[in-house]
A and B are shown apart, each in its own frame.
Chain A
Amino acid sequence: MANKKSKGRDQRHKVASLGALPVHEVLAKGHLFLTQEKYQDAILCFKQLLKQQESPEILQALEQAYLGRIGSLAAKSMAKEAMALLEIVVERWPHADVLSLKLSLLLQAGRFVEAVQFHGQCRKQLASDVRQRLEALFGALLLAGVGGLRLEDFPGDSPVAGYYPAALSAMDAVFVRQEERGQDALKQISFRSPYRDLRTLLTGLLHFQSEKDLGCSIIRKIDKDSPYFRAAARCLATVDTPESFLQNLAAAPKNEQYQLCGQYGVNPSQFPVFEALSGSDGRPLGLYKIASRHGNCFTKGQRMLLLRNILPFCGEQALTFLGRSTDFTSIEKNRILALAAEKDGATHSAVKFWEDYLGNSDWSDTLRHKEIAMVLRHQAKLQKKVEYAYSPVHVLDTMLKSLEYEPSHAETWLEAAEYAKRHFSASRSYAIVNDAVAKLPENVPILVAAMQACGARNAHKKASGLAKRILEIDPINTSVLDFLVESRLEHGRKLASQKKWLPAEKELQSADTRVKALRYRGRHRICLGMVLLLQGKEEGLPHIAAGKEENGSPLFGHVLTSLESRLYKLPKGRHQEFDRQLRQLEDSAPTIDRSEFLRLINWLLSFDGEQGVMLKEVCQCLTNFFAKAAILPWSRDEGLLICKALEKAALIAALTKASATLQKNYPEDLEFKVWSLVAGTRKGKKRVPMQVFDKLEDLLYQLERKNRLDFVDYIEEILDKGRNHRSSTFFGVEDDLDDIFDFGPFIIPQVTESGEKSPTKPKAKPVRGKQFNLFDDEL
């Protein structure tokens, strides 16, 4: 009331002061107020002037001031006050163009029925776009039943009433998901009808079930000033991702952000958090601030979940943040800090925090032993990363401690055994594996590890026992089956070397015959034959023949016989006899069996120890076979394996042929060029020009750049071996002072199998008419 009184006083005062001014000054003031949109003051000025003189100019200015004032009241949602002023204007200036303004005010005031009636009176005077927008609004108001609007309120020729039944039936059809009916009903709504946007919205909704993208693209056509715009935005929000919501929010002007949140159904109280998120760069510290400042927007569970996921990325600051926090227990704080330290690369601190985690927990509950074991395993993993702080003893202790809490964790047993083998000794590893077998007697991987450990310790009997146990659990475990046979064969050889003939025979007879691998098939009978031959019993020969037959492959049968005769250390005459048989077979074979050749290559690469050395020796009987097979077309990968195996077996002539053919077939592959050069360096007693080694070095450099590091390492290893054997350098000359001054071609001394230098022989004169062997091989 006091305010109203004061306003009235001000007005009187203003009028009095205007009355004292000359007319032209008041007029100027009035116009100034108009331009400054101070309509109330402008009205006072012009009213004052009208008291003194009535001119059309002043009347027009007053009308303008009134209309301006009405507009400003409407903008402040003071529709009633604006309507009262409008009535004054209409009364005073009956010809004033106030139709749109009046309609706006009626709508704003919620006087829809009056608005419809007024619209009916002045419909023809309205601009067509204004009329269309009004009719669209009336249609939506009628459908939604807002403001008590009824169909009867519209004149019969109004399109709002005309298309109303079609709009209703289209809605019915769309919401009962009858696509065909819906399409038909939508066709009844004309493009020019007031329900055009409704038709667009319903068409989009019709596609929503089957093709969401198409539905959305249709709905997006609805304009911002359409009465259906918010409904459309709400539909689009159902398919929008939170990402696009935040993007839209960030892009929207301030005054539309609230409205946008409304479309997504977001509670206004949550608006600040969304605003903060939309402006966030996603860094942990920023996210932490959002989560803690707007903590009340989340449930406690949500807030804790957020902090649990954000704090581990906050580095050292996690310590400060958690210090303030009352949400987490001290155990949980240690866990988060440990993770934060891990993420920050502070592994040593992480181990300490995990220690604190274990130290602060109550572990009397046996159900939580798994958790302790898991944390200890994790600690061991971390400890391995910081070798300077934790010795292998510490790491192994942590692993073994975890096994006290969870003895059934087979992976840790195996890891601990492997770790002990690498950092301590085979016997420590063996002890761990034995403990593991005691704890997990049915676990196949543990039993396999134990079996392999026994095999490595030459405890073949125990290994066989373990293999048997595994086969009881897993009868089709072929690798164990192979191992069992291998183990028995090895044990048989051991017994035979001790002249324990009967046990050796027994061991060999008990070797499993189910074995499928060609390297073991029929081999126990061949071995049995060897044991008998060692005893001077010729009945060993039929056993060998039967073994060869059992093997199924004549080539492998003979290869294995020659091999076993060497492994059993039979007299030299016997070797030679078996080798002769092998050569005869090689000569009689008309064609090369590709699979047999590849298998032999595989044997050469996989047989190790004494067997590997002996097989290499046996393969020297098959030089022609290898040389013929080497020039067959092979794939790139096969070619690489072949070259590797031939070099390993010192079949240099075959390697030369193979690398040359492969180089021709794969000109882009530098590896074959390398093998070709390597073969050249190994070839007999020829002068090897220095350029060859330069080329080799260059090729290896190129391969290194292509990331073929394994291959480069392997070749360098071979060359190093060659260098050690020959006491000469391939790449460096520093080992040989003479070479410092001699960059010319040099001779690589011939190397014997034992690695010793062969005595220098005078160069033989070429003999006319002498037939060299096909591959220029040394025989």
Chain B
Amino acid sequence: MITPYEILEVAEDAGDSQIKKAYLGMVRRYPPERFPDDFQRIYRAYELIKTEDDRLAYRLFHCALPTPAEIAAVLLQSVAKKEPQSREEFLKQLGADLRGGCSGLVL
């Protein structure tokens, strides 16, 4: 459900060269030998919008029935999914958990 533009992180009015540049950047970030699945996703996205004709065909004829998980992914996109990056962040989250969670403690 995530559009190829979103996968390649380019604007919908981006040109061939911008898209190619974004694609190559993505391939550098997700090399196929280390991230085969991500690479496949990126490659497929690039193939869909590589040229002006491809983009037009995508806009006119492309449709793919999303799975419930893909719809969920659209909603989860906005959620920052990252493990804690610092001690402070970790302890802040832990504190919030404990403040909300001690009431349920049954000894």
Interface residue ranges, A against B (CB under 8 Å): 77, 79, 100-101, 103-104, 107-108, 110, 130, 133-134, 137, 140-141, 143-146, 171-172, 175, 205, 208, 227-228, 230-231, 234-235, 237-238, 241-243, 245-246, 264-266, 270, 273-274, 277-278, 280, 282, 284, 287, 290-291, 297-298, 302, 305-306, 308-310, 312-313, 335, 339, 370-371, 374-375, 378
Contacts and interface: CB of A to CB of B under 8 A. Distances in A.
A287 B65 CA distance: 9
A243 B71 CA distance: 10
Interface stretch (B18-26, B40-48, B56-64): B56-64
Nearest to B65: A313
Interface string B59-75: 01101111111111111
B75 A273 contact: yes
Interface of B: 1, 3, 52-53, 56-57, 60-61, 63-76, 79-87, 90-95, 97-99, 101-103, 105-107
Contact of B90 (A107, A175, A208, A287): A175
Contact of B79 (A172, A266, A273, A302): A266
Nearest to B80: A265
A375 B73 CA distance: 32
A146 B95 CA distance: 6
Nearest to A205: B83
Q: Is the interface of B mostly helix, strand, loop or mixed?
A: helix
Contact of B94 (A133, A140, A274): A140
Given A175-B84, A309-B1, A270 B66 contact: no
Contacts of B68: 246, 277-278, 280, 282, 287, 290
Nearest to A266: B79
Nearest to B85: A175
A576 to B, nearest CB: 61
Nearest to A308: B63
Nearest to A291: B71
Given A79-B103, A205-B84, 13 more contacts: A107-B102, A108-B105, A133-B107, A137-B102, A146-B99, A171-B91, A227-B97, A228-B94, A234-B83, A242-B69, A242-B70, A245-B69, A274-B72
Contact of B101 (A104, A227, A273): A227
Contacts of B82: 238
A192 B70 CA distance: 44
A133 B86 CA distance: 26
A179 to B, nearest CB: 15
A298 B74 contact: yes
Given A245-B76, A374-B57, A208 B95 contact: no
A369 B14 CA distance: 20
Contacts of A133: 107
B47 to A, nearest CB: 17
Contact of A171 (B79, B90, B101): B90
